[in-house]
Amino acid sequence: MTAGSNPFGIGETTVGGVVDQSVAAIVTADKQGGVVNYKSQLQELLQARGQPPPVYCLVKASGPDHDRRFIVEVRAGNTALGRGSGKSKKQAETRAAHSALEHFLS
């Protein structure tokens, strides 16, 4: 994924702007402390745009067993959408989905 790239045209004109509005609502809810399931929201967004579902790929696992760190990349087809890291694979996947959603708004 290159900086400034917009692989799925998010932010461009959509039917009624519904998809873009829902992405904006997700980010707004997050900034206001709301509970957001980023993985589900990303999947719904991609589905609404007719894109392949997200796939989460483990890029790296490091550290001792008691203090592991995971880096995960989320992809749709051959396109990398975002990366995230965390102390569990689940946390890293959630952060990758969040990164992808934020990228769509830029």
Q: pLDDT for 58-101, tens place per residue?
A: 999 999 999 999 999 999 999 999 999 999 999 999 999 999 99
- Give me the pLDDT at residue 31, please: 58
Binned at pLDDT 50, 70 and 90, residue 21 comes out as low
- Give me the pLDDT at residue 27, please: 59
User: DSSP of 36-88, one letter per residue?
Assistant: --HHHHHHHHHHHTTPPPEEEEEEEEES-GGG-EEEEEEEETTEEEEEEEESS
